[in-house]
Amino acid sequence: MPLLTHASAPADALGPLASASGRPAPSDPSVTARKRRRWPSALWWSLALITLLCSIALLAPALAPYAPNEQLDIIRLKSQPPSLAHPLGTDQYSRDLLSRMLFGARISLSVAMIAVCLSATIGTAYGLLAGYIGGVVDAVMMRVLDAFLAIPRVLLLIALLAMWSPVPLPMLIVIIGCTGWFEVSRLVRAEVLAVKQRDYILAARALGAPNARLLGRHVLPNILNPVLVAAALGVGNVIILEAGLSYLGVGAHAPTASWGSIFFDGSEAFQSTWWIALFPGLAIVMTVLAFNAFGTALRDTLDPHQLAGGSTRR
């Protein structure tokens, strides 16, 4: 006569029964590990750091002790090192570096975030149409995209910005945003090609759902995860790009305070005025690290086929 397992038996005794039913036992370590991987710690600290940076940028008028372009004393306070009166020192025009850093966060973060949103919107729309329509239209649109990808983005930006120098800040955002959607569109197209062959799309089409409803209600919501990850990673890239353009003299122009322009002001005499280039450089590195960590953690959270270590679940 077979032995009956008591209800209060330990979980290891119920292991075969749990595996036979297709569900892991409650004490299965894989369940606990999976729950922990669902919200990686990097997601929280990077999100907290990004929130702090955005809050500082928004509250810059209240936090800055001086106006960003105010020349305090061109004789006595020129190129002063960090002190109690000026925690980050002053630049060669006797402007308080802390105030310029706070207002520069506004410019650098707003340029990066708005440009990435514009790039993600254009790239999503382009890839969505190319992947959903398919056929000759898809082939033509992809060849056009290949032509755009063949042009180095930095050289294209330098050529465009040099023709309209000095470029207003809104136009700078538009130009950066309109030259950064190429990779996003290719990613979206690949996702659309996979999604549109799934059963729920075929069922909705068989029920007579129009194309606009299929795209808006069924296709688009299921391809947004990689777009969000690409946008999070793209913010850090655009911050570096804007800083590099300002360093080359075709980005944000004086007296506009951005981290890239401040770094450019201090790079000419780094040995004697090291603080002018050091602090904006550290701000750029810290911000890019936060956005890259956030994008990587967001990918691990949203993608059910990836583990935190980069492997694939079986």
256-299 per-position pLDDT tens digit: 788 888 888 887 777 888 899 899 999 999 999 999 999 988 88
Which pLDDT tens digit goes with each residue over 148-204? 999 888 888 888 887 877 778 888 899 999 998 999 999 999 999 988 888 888 888
**Mean pLDDT value of segment 112-141:** 92
- DSSP, res 304: T
Whole-number pLDDT of residue 263: 87
Which pLDDT tens digit goes with each residue over 189-210? 999 998 888 888 888 888 888 8
**Mean pLDDT value of segment 89-94:** 89
Neighbours of 56 (CB within 10 A): 17
Report the half-sphere exposure of 51 (CA within 13 A, side-chain side): 6
CA pair distance 188, 194, nearest whole angstrom: 10
Q: Domains in the chain and their CATH numbers?
A: 41-53+97-302 (1.10.3720.10)
Neighbours of 310 (CB within 10 A): 9
Q: Which residue has the tokens 């299921």?
A: 222
pTM of the model: 0.79
CA pair distance 162, 154, nearest whole angstrom: 12
Q: Which residue has the tokens 């990004």?
A: 50
213 vs 252 pLDDT, higher one: 213
Q: Provide the angle, in degrees to the nearest 10, between the axes of the packed helices 182-195 and 97-133.
A: 40
Q: Which residue has the tokens 């059963």?
A: 199
Judge whether residue 114 has pLDDT over 90: yes
Contact 254, 262 (CB under 8 A): no
